[in-house]
Homo-oligomer: A and B are copies of this chain.
């Protein structure tokens, strides 16, 4: 039988951390709580994450990466034309954020505190999403679906920012309002027409 320290993976610690954060809230959750939830010493947790801040950053990155991974699949699906991929990407992002905010508002609020603390992780996440969008923009330019772009990353950032109302957590309270889906459609149509040029 393996010893506890052998089976204690970073992923198991991060799962437990999310659960502890959900239960205690971001202000009170400690590494000792995480260790207790796993039935290990807090030293075992520190062997994987050297500080409480590193653990909180890792759990934040894990939460953000879950969204990026789903979106990366859409970018890679070259059977669909670039405009269809762009529309699917934006809708999937909106749905993922809306579900996170609506299904478990307490956990969402917890992650809002954590993303506020971990600006670097958020910056990397936004850069990752922008790079994904830039691939779709470049594919659209190559196929002739979109007008030539001086710099696909600049264009991708503009698309990401122009649709912020439908993925930026500061708008989470608007995502359940009636009419928001029609508003999303109108902004995406405007953006897609802008890309076609």
Contacts and interface: CB of A to CB of B under 8 A. Distances in A.
B187 A158 contact: yes
A164 interface: yes
Q: For this complex, into which size category does the number of interface residues on chain A fall?
A: 20 to 34
Nearest to A197: B193
Contacts of A194: 189-194
- Would you call the interface of chain A mostly helix, strand, loop, or mixed? helix
Given A193-B147, A193-B197, A187 B170 contact: no
Contacts of A155: 186, 190
Interface in A169-192: 170-171, 182-183, 186-187, 189-192
A162 interface: yes
A71 interface: no
Contacts of A67: none
Number of chain copies forming the complex: 2
Contacts of A190: 155, 158-159, 162, 191, 194-195
Contacts of A92: none
A1 B160 CA distance: 62
A157 B186 CA distance: 8
A9 interface: no
Given A165-B164, A194-B193, A158 B183 contact: yes
A195 B163 CA distance: 16
Interface string A39-83: 000000000000000000000000000000000000000000000
Nearest to A147: B193
A4 interface: no
A162 to B, nearest CB: 4
